[in-house]
Structure 1
Amino acid sequence: MNNVMVKICGILGVPTIESMLNLPIDYIGFVFAKSKRQVTPEQAADMIQVLKKHQIKVPETAGVFVNPSEQKLEETIRNAPLDIIQLHGQESPELCKWVKQSLKIKVFKVFSNLHQILLTDNSIISNEQVDEECSKCLNPYVNHIDALMLDTYDPVVGGGTGETFNWDLIPIVQRWTKKNNIPLIVAGGLDVDNVSSLISTYEPDGVDVSSGVETNRIKDIKKIKTFVERVKINV
């Protein structure tokens, strides 16, 4: 079994949590941003309580937000004891720093628009120039995030669209994450059919899936099991 981390996002209810309890899942995500998968802090708290009762390794829980206020984050954490705040918008390094220092909680920062900067400028012709541009964007977040996530850009919901992005971006960002010892998690359009190819080609530290393990917009435990198997065993 390999050590690629698995995150299943957009969980809506206790039955889905219970169906996943014995799977080697590292993170479970709850969406608090406006989305068809949005839950309340109270609903998330109920699901977290079920997880905590489980006796074996418990997945860490992440709350997904898009450009939240500090007050919104404080209120959510007060009701739902999350392990991670996942920021999906244009949040500043200062907000990430505040979350870690004031809320004492991990930060996963999603960058979904880097392709607009790193893959479209024809004047950037060498790896060194691309790396320099990447560093300009990401260096302010060093020491303030616990993982960097790549996802498909969506101006409304931030992610969870089921669409893939240009995977050519991955090696560029990966050079930066390895240099700064920050895990790289890839999301955006992953499913049981393409996740093995992603892992064998790019070797990310983790993968994140939501719509890719759904049938008719409902989490499908068969797809979740297959996805996890293909990540952990890479079959």
Structure 2
Amino acid sequence: MATVKICGIRAPETARELNRLQLPIDHVGFLFAPSKRQVTPRQAGELIALLRGDGGAAAGPLAVGVFVEPTEELLRETLAEAPLDVLQLHGNETPAFCRQVRETFGLAVFKVVSVASGGEPEADPLEAVEPYRGAVDAILLDTHDPLLGGTGRTFAWERIPAYAAWAADAGVKLLVAGGLRPDNVDELLREYRPDGVDVSSGVETDGHKDIAKIKQFVERVKR
């Protein structure tokens, strides 16, 4: 069964309601890079506490910190206030950097790979991901955009199998983001069977996380 990551949580009331509902959400993402969904390390720490409630660190979804080309110092400062479980790197971080931070902090590392939409030239997927073999725990495919995701646009899904084959051979997970919604995630899972899916704007209404849409999305992935 595919894992679910809800990205861009920033409102305490959203965290409280997700804790109350106890939905089978596997990961919750917090954006520390410039974005309309950006939070501070202290805010993220407070949100993680609300998500986990009285259960402490063992309860609730894993906390994912989303960064763009962070320094080790920034990661250390962030982790001092936000108990993250996963570091998601969304920029041009090198395989050496990914390996180094994974070893330094003892946390899983997800590396984001941008995939062109159908009208753009197709790059060789192996060229993009092969250097990360042995350096990361998961590859997350997202729609190519100069901004930090959350565009609401899908990429060309027919490009997924090449990445999936590489991920299986490399022993890492393959996650898919980019324009996912409750009404299209069924098709993605049925046709391409990634290890997990990541959603942000697709479960929002007027720029705010919509609990009803989150419930619908999670139910469609987990059923």
**Alignment partners' CA distance in 1, 2:54 and 2:136:** 28
Contact 1:13 1:43 in 2 (8 A): no
**Alignment partners' CA distance in 1, 2:215 and 2:200:** 13
Partner of 1:26: 26
SS in 2 for 1:200: helix
Shift in Å, 1:159: 1.1
Shift in Å, 1:179: 0.9
Task: Indicate which of 119, 129, 144 corresponds to 2:135.
Answer: 144
Partner of 1:13: 11
**Alignment partners' CA distance in 1, 2:144 and 2:25:** 25
Runs of 4+ in 1 over 6 A off after TM superposition: none
Shift in Å, 1:115: 7.1
Superposition pairs of residues 165-176 of structure 1, within 5 angstroms: 165-176=155-166
Partner of 2:92: 90
List alignment gaps of at least 5 residues for structure 2. none
Contact 2:8 2:38 in 1 (8 A): yes
CA RMSD of aligned residues (A): 1.8
**TM-score normalised over the length of structure 1:** 0.87
**Alignment partners' CA distance in 2, 1:113 and 1:203:** 17
Shift in Å, 1:54: 4.4
Partner of 2:180: 190
Structure 1 residues 108-160: Cα deviation after superposition (integer angstroms, max 9, x where no partner): 100014779x9536xxxxxxxxxxx43343222112111110001111x2311
**TM-score normalised over the length of structure 2:** 0.92
**Alignment partners' CA distance in 2, 1:207 and 1:44:** 21
List alignment gaps of at least 5 residues for structure 1. 122-132
**Alignment partners' CA distance in 1, 2:126 and 2:53:** 42
**Alignment partners' CA distance in 1, 2:101 and 2:60:** 23
Structure 1 residues 12-51: Cα deviation after superposition (integer angstroms, max 9, x where no partner): 1221112112100000000011000000000000011123
Superposition pairs of residues 1-235 of structure 1, within 5 angstroms: 3-21=1-19, 22-55=22-55, 57-113=59-115, 120=122, 133-155=124-146, 157-233=147-223
SS in 2 for 1:151: strand
Contact 1:115 1:169 in 2 (8 A): no
Paired residues in the alignment total 218
